[in-house]
Amino acid sequence: MVKFVFLFLFLYILIFSYFLWISIRVLYKEKNNNPQIRKPALILWKVLYGTVSALFAGNTVFLVIMGFHGKSLPMGFDGWAFYPYSVWISWNYSMLFFFPFILIFLVIAGSLRFLRAIFSHPAFGFPLRKTLVYGYLAFFLILVTVIHSSNRSPEVRKISLDLPKVGKMEKQKLRILQISDTHIGSIIHRREMAKIAALVNSTEADILVLTGDIIDNNNEFIPVFSEFYRSLKKIPTYAIIGNHDHIDSARPLAEEYRKLGIVLLDNESRRFTDKNGFIWQIVGTDYPFPHFRDAQKREALIQQYYTSAFGKTDNKNPLLFLLHDPKDLPIFFSRISKNNKRMDLSLAGHTHGSQICFPFFLKFLEKNIQPFIRGHYVLGSGTPVESHLYVNAGTGHWMPVRLCCPPEITLLEIF
């Protein structure tokens, strides 16, 4: 991961320095016959590029240092302060992952006259340089097109699962609708939630589950969720809390869930009787927010969650498990295996499907950061404790950049 970050930092410095050098050369040559224009123009562009460079480099290095020290960005601002702060957060994250593309965007977003001056300058007469610039710009335009096509409204993704541990008498179709990571905030707001509500109401589901990160960092957006939920067809709804729900205190959201009739599963289990009279156990656990950076303390907290949530479950009825971060599932699964308990299906979110679904990038993430990115997984395949997992790719996002990874509302049909 460290090599990955430093490679991007090197590319950033290289590309930015190249464009800065070219722009100064062009402006200097262009204004050489008019000293009164040349000097202010050079100062202006030096200040502009210097400021942007300092912001990009300074914030990126700041994020990298914080990452090495295991610290997270401070969050939880209220009221008006949240909006510029959320922009700053998005700015930082976008620099860390997408600054080469944002850099080119800033160049394109400059004046057309300035770009024409660059491309018409003799310094670009050398074919390799011209090919490099035009090729990079073409790649960026293709990237923007892909991003735009990926940022459409969520789609309802239908998944059919045949759970082998569920007996024949229990193999009646159960439709579970999963919404995860809506991140209601300054980007995902009323208009977007209305589109999601229309999609939800178009489905025929038996239960609705919310697997965390419904609110994006600030409880002022809870009323937007309440409006959204009241517009839905009334079906049994179960929810858990995600890490972003915790940032501005999860208590107000938990209280709102209860007011709306949503069952909040806070390290506990409930029973649900489906339309055919069969009983399902539904278990939900909290996100280990206090210790999410410390692996040992996090695991110890998850062990406590397991004891509380699975203490009253049995092996007679099928079990649906809700958790926010799928990375925590192996800890629960090891305890399930040890105690010979059942956990037929787990539903999670948190990853957003990485939002960038290039195969090589997914493989890198699965190997180094998150073993379960999106879609269907099987743990303990072929063993008595076989358990299935589905990871929702996110109904929303906290940064509007998706590549080949459209947002989704999952409709799981269990047979």
Q: 156-414: what fold?
A: Purple Acid Phosphatase; chain A, domain 2 (3.60.21)
Indicate the domain borders of the chain.
2-150, 156-414
Provide the residue-wise pLDDT of the chain in tens; the chain has 415 residues. Answer: 445 445 555 655 665 565 556 555 555 555 555 555 455 555 655 665 565 556 556 655 555 555 454 444 443 333 334 334 444 444 444 444 445 445 545 555 444 455 555 556 555 555 555 555 666 566 666 666 666 665 677 899 999 998 877 765 455 678 999 999 999 987 788 988 999 999 999 998 999 999 999 998 888 899 999 999 999 999 999 999 999 999 888 999 999 999 999 999 999 999 999 888 888 999 999 999 876 667 788 899 999 999 999 999 998 899 999 999 999 999 999 999 999 889 999 999 999 998 877 777 777 778 777 899 999 999 998 888 899 999 999 999 877 677 778 899 999 998 7
Q: Which strands sit side by side in the sheet containing 408-414, from one edge to the other?
A: 155-161, 408-414, 174-179, 207-211, 237-240, 263-264
Separation of alpha carbons 196 and 95, rounded Å: 29
Total-model pTM: 0.71
Task: Locate 190 and state its tokens.
Answer: 């009323």
* 26 close to 117: Cβ distance less than 8 angstroms: yes
Per-residue burial over 23-60, b = 16 or more CB atoms within 10 Å of its CB, e = otherwise: beebbeebbeeeeeebeebeeebeeebeeebeebbebb
> Residue 200 in contact with residue 410, Cβ under 8 Å?
no
